[in-house]
């Protein structure tokens, strides 16, 4: 699985090709909430009190496979959030790994939402685990094989270089947390340091970290996580990081609107991928599909939700 990196495009070019192929810059977040997974899937497996983590993980994998099959005609990017897999221990991580492999077999780009960060020697292990490979005696193995991951910048440049170097070696990507979508994200990220806010300083660094890794389409393999819930900040960040692809959470369940999303894109209509998780996966639990479909028609709800979201984002880009 290793060794063919030289012939691969820069990650940002792969991403853009994928976006054009399905005419969609939507990212479906694969965040399994066990209690929201339909019973028809759970009934395929025998629940066991002794092996509850294995049972839950098998259910989650089956749900993900059905979701991937359902959404693959409409979107090319998925983002499993590893926390929801760690919740089921090493069995959960087995389901995470199998989910990535299944999505890749279906031709999708997989962003592992892992938000990893550590001192350099440890960051190197994380990087090789998630977007690189590992040597065991004479074997070379790919532990998780995501195409890109999210990383936390708090520890500084030397903590990020192993991720950047590993991404470059394997033609993978990283998305640096710049301005997150949670309500308290401003507490530290918006602090004024000299004449700039902390997240603006980190945005400048993100631009600098990525400047040597710009692909043919003008975008870098070093992207940024920018929450859609803060439209004023997005406009400024778009200028500070013109070549960074933005991974934008917050659409749907977290409350960001179509208008907020608009600020994430460059004039070329590129530069952002928009994530939605719960509002797609569990569309059958939210309006207007809750009223229209029951859980037995969850697939219709999810399909309509993804088609609607593609259309909404498309409208932003045409405006």
Nearer to a copy of itself (CB atom), residue 93 or residue 214: 93
CB of 36 to a copy of itself, least distance (A): 13
Token pair 């708090």 is at which residue? 154
- By beta-carbon proximity to a copy of itself, the closer residue of 46 and 287 is 46
Closer by beta carbon to a copy of itself, 255 or else 269: 255
Tell the smallest beta-carbon distance from residue 246 to a copy of itself (Å): 16
Catalytic one of 104, 106, 115, 299: 115
Residue 257 Cβ vs a copy of itself, minimum distance, rounded to whole Å:
18
Q: Between 89 and 218, name the residue whose CB sits nearer to a copy of itself.
A: 89
Residue whose CB is less far from a copy of itself, 7 or 192: 192
Query: Closest distance between a copy of itself and the C-beta of residue 157, in Å?
Result: 5
Q: Is 115 a catalytic residue?
A: yes
Q: Cβ of residue 222: shortest distance to a copy of itself, in angstroms? A: 16
Residues constituting the chain: 319
Residues with catalytic roles: 115
């Amino acid at each position: 699985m290793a060794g063919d990196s030289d012939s691969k495009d820069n990650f940002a070019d792969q991403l853009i090709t994928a976006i054009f192929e399905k005419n969609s810059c939507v990212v479906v977040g694969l965040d399994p909430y066990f209690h929201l997974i339909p019973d028809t899937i759970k009934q395929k497996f025998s629940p066991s009190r002794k092996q509850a983590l294995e049972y839950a993980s098998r259910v989650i994998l089956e749900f993900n496979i059905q979701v991937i099959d359902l959404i693959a005609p409409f979107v090319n990017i998925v983002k499993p959030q590893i926390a929801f897999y760690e919740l089921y221990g090493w069995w959960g991580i087995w389901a995470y790994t199998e989910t990535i492999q299944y999505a890749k077999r279906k031709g999708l780009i997989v962003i592992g939402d892992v938000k990893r960060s550590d001192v350099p020697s440890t960051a190197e292990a994380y990087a090789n685990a998630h977007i690189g490979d590992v040597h065991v005696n004479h074997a070379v193995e790919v532990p998780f094989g995501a195409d890109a991951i999210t990383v936390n910048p708090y520890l500084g440049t030397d903590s990020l270089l192993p991720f950047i170097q590993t991404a470059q070696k394997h033609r993978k990507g990283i998305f640096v947390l710049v301005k997150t979508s949670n309500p308290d994200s401003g507490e530290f990220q918006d602090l004024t340091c000299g004449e700039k806010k902390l997240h603006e300083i980190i945005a400048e660094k993100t631009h600098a970290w990525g400047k040597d890794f710009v692909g043919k389409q003008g975008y870098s393999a070093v992207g940024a996580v920018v929450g859609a819930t803060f439209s004023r900040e997005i406009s400024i960040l778009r200028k500070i990081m013109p070549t960074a692809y933005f991974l934008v959470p917050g659409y749907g369940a977290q409350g960001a609107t179509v208008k907020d999303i608009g600020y994430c894109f460059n004039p070329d209509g590129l530069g952002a991928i928009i994530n939605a998780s719960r509002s797609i996966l569990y569309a059958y639990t939210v309006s207007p599909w809750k009223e229209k479909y029951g859980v037995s028609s969850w697939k219709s709800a999810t399909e309509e939700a993804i088609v609607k979201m593609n259309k909404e984002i498309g409208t932003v880009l045409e405006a």
